[in-house]
Amino acid sequence: MANTRRLFGTDGIRGRANSDPMTAETALRLGQAAGLMFTRGAYRHRVVIGKDTRLSGYMLEPALTAGFIGAGMDVTLVGPMPTPAVAMLTRSLRADLGVMLSASHNPYEDNGIKLFGPDGFKLSDQTEGEIEALMASDMSARLAQPAALGRAARLEDAHGRYVEAAKATFPRGLRLDGLRIVVDCANGAAYRVAPEILWELGATVIKVGVTPDGFNINQGCGSTVPDFLCSQVVEHRADLGVALDGDADRMLLSDERGELIDGDQILALIARSWGRAGRLRGDGIVATVMSNLGLERCIAGLGMQFHRTKVGDRYVAELMRERGINVGGEQSGHMILSDFATTGDGLVAALQVLAVIVEQARPASEVCRVFTPLPQRLRNVRFAGISPLRHTRVHAARGAAERLLGGSGRLLIRESGTEPVVRVMAEGEDETLVQRVVDDLCETIAEIAQMREDAA
Q: Which residues are catalytic?
A: 104
User: How many whole angstroms separate alpha carbon 274 and alpha carbon 269?
Assistant: 8
Handedness of CA 138, 141, 146, 148 (dihedral sign): negative
Q: Exposure of 276 by Cβ count < 10 A (0-12 exposed, 13-18 middle, 19+ buried)?
A: exposed
User: How many whole angstroms separate alpha carbon 272 and alpha carbon 79?
Assistant: 37
The residue among 124, 348, 245, 161 whose CA lies nearest residue 339 is 348
Contact 390, 413 (CB under 8 A): no
HSE at residue 1, side-chain half, CA atoms within 13 A, is 15
Classified as helix, coil or strand, 25 is helix
Give the type of residue at 117.
G
Q: What is the dihedral of CA 49, 51, 55, 61, to 10 degrees?
A: -10
CA angle 371, 377, 378 (to 5 degrees): 115
**Consecutive H or E run containing 235:** helix 226-235
User: How many whole angstroms separate alpha carbon 305 and alpha carbon 297?
Assistant: 10
Classified as helix, coil or strand, 99 is strand
Give the type of residue at 121.
F
Contact 241, 233 (CB under 8 A): yes
Calculate the CA 205 to chain-centre distance: 24
| Residue 343 φ then ψ, to 5° | -140, 180
